[in-house]
Structure 1
């Protein structure tokens, strides 16, 4: 059976994934040593802008409460997926999650070092459509600033980093197999930016979801094997040293002909600018 998953999973969402289009967040009870499909270990020292979203109150302490990924674009601003902050993902309104924070500077979720910084404010794109996953971006404001060198620039419209065939890397702490084997340490996978025509062919609408080139981009390999998965939602897709996408959704994980779909950062810049 075909299934479309948004890369955020809670226990209830895991049941829904068998029949519905949902985002990719991680279940509180999943434990594993490995992550991203086809990935290898990564280190925050080399990618300090990668952070984990955490709420031990909502997701337990097994993996330090990690349920989504995020990326630092300003010292006090983190981008993530809008669906990560939804009631469906959190089990309550985001304003009721008193211990929402980001984990920065730490490879191992339950390791030492790094920082856990409380989130002091949230903005969820009002144009986010949970049915189509369009407009899947949110902004977290941190209570404490991170160093400027821990940020990554965002690729604007027309940037060469969006060109089909460009090598890119996706990061996260999510499912490493597609079967609920969740990572405890950061991993990354190399993928290629795919042509919009290929993405539209893979996701023409219906049960597998519809690709919208104005707000999404997709990345992977034609033969599959390299992809983000549940628990990686909101994490960064990076090409040519710039942020081009946020992990959003896909048809399964690492399947041939079903590349991962990401929020297009050039579109997100426009939505965030309009909100200012």
Structure 2
């Protein structure tokens, strides 16, 4: 089952369209200071690369139309999850969402700070597999440039940031409890990169999904409690100051034995032909 708003598969983490919210998966109780599950408030100045994807036409104006997250990797280039741009989520082709925007520099979605920048072009990985959620990434090209310090470096293959046990932080405006309590302010949760073997055991295939190490990254806490959730899809997982993952899917939110599964950024770099480039080419994909 996909996560509504979505995280994906067992639960893609996107906000479902206002007219048809996807069912939630039950989750273990969140920590007392919950968000992104088991997290803490973050001022966007501490994570300027974290942006919100917005369409008031499709998702209403209560939270500025936020339905997914993204991460700025260049002045006009944002990475997000492919499933965020699925017709099922947007209630139609992405090309028909005329008010698709990226909200940057805004901590509280209800405020007016920061900028809302139109998406000029949306490129979805043509090899994205909706059944396994492999290749879950898309590239957004913006109509205007973000400030230079808004882009985060991406970790190439072999970077020590991918090593199991590495401390990491996931950011987003998604569900804070696993029961539909969506944040208005940006949140972060401290996690660890986990071994591929752990996610392979948790997701061997079947109803809860299949973990594929070549394109996915395992992260969370072995005992649960801290995790991304619905509405965080496409958001950044950062380790050692570099982008290592994009929120993608998992089973429930913050459940013991069910870590979060992220799109592996080194695989994104390879598939886009960016090689070991720390940031996106200035002209995007």
In the superposition, the TM-score normalised over structure 2's length comes to 0.88
1:126 alignment counterpart: 126
Q: Quick check: 2:35–2:189 contact (8 Å CA) kept in 1?
A: no
1:257 alignment counterpart: 257
Residue 229 of structure 1: CA displacement? Answer: 0.2
Residue 14 of structure 1: CA displacement? Answer: 1.7
- For the residue of structure 2 that corresponds to 1:251, the secondary structure is coil
Q: Quick check: 2:216–2:263 contact (8 Å CA) kept in 1?
A: yes
2:212 alignment counterpart: 212
2:12 alignment counterpart: 6
How far apart, CA to CA, are the structure 2 residues paired with 1:91 and 1:71? 23
Q: Which runs of 5+ in 2 are unaligned?
A: 4-9, 27-32, 275-283
1:218-242 alpha-carbon deviations (Å, 9 max, x no partner): 1111110000000000000000000
1:90-122 alpha-carbon deviations (Å, 9 max, x no partner): 011000000000000010001021000000001
Residue 165 of structure 1: CA displacement? Answer: 0.2
Identify if the C-alpha distance between structure 1 residues 2 and 59 changes in structure 2 by more than 3 Å, giving closer, same or farther. closer
Residue 147 of structure 1: CA displacement? Answer: 1.4
Higher mean C-alpha displacement, 2-11 vs 212-221: 2-11
Residue 272 of structure 1: CA displacement? Answer: 1.4
Question: Number of matched residues?
Answer: 262
Residue 251 of structure 1: CA displacement? Answer: 0.3
1:5-42 alpha-carbon deviations (Å, 9 max, x no partner): 11113153523x569xxxxxxxxxxxxx9731001001
Q: Quick check: 2:73–2:79 contact (8 Å CA) kept in 1?
A: yes
Over the aligned positions, Cα root-mean-square deviation in angstroms equals: 1.9
1:144 maps onto 2:144 in alignment: yes
- For the residue of structure 1 that corresponds to 2:11, the secondary structure is strand
Q: Which runs of 5+ in 1 are unaligned?
A: 20-32
Could you list the runs of 4 or more consecutive aligned residues of structure 1 that deviate by over 4 angstroms after TM superposition? Answer: none
Q: Quick check: 1:43–1:186 contact (8 Å CA) kept in 2?
A: yes
1:229 maps onto 2:237 in alignment: no
Identify if the C-alpha distance between structure 1 residues 231 and 94 changes in structure 2 by more than 3 Å, giving closer, same or farther. same
Identify if the C-alpha distance between structure 1 residues 182 and 2 changes in structure 2 by more than 3 Å, giving closer, same or farther. closer
1:172 alignment counterpart: 172
Residue 43 of structure 1: CA displacement? Answer: 1.1
How far apart, CA to CA, are the structure 2 residues paired with 1:212 and 1:220? 16
2:278 alignment counterpart: none
How far apart, CA to CA, are the structure 2 residues paired with 1:102 and 1:9? 15
1:167-208 alpha-carbon deviations (Å, 9 max, x no partner): 000000000000000000000000000001111011111111
Q: Quick check: 1:7–1:231 contact (8 Å CA) kept in 2?
A: yes
2:29 alignment counterpart: none
1:34-75 alpha-carbon deviations (Å, 9 max, x no partner): 731001001111110000000000000000000000000000
How far apart, CA to CA, are the structure 2 residues paired with 1:224 and 1:123? 34
1:111 maps onto 2:111 in alignment: yes
In the superposition, the TM-score normalised over structure 1's length comes to 0.91
1:100 alignment counterpart: 100
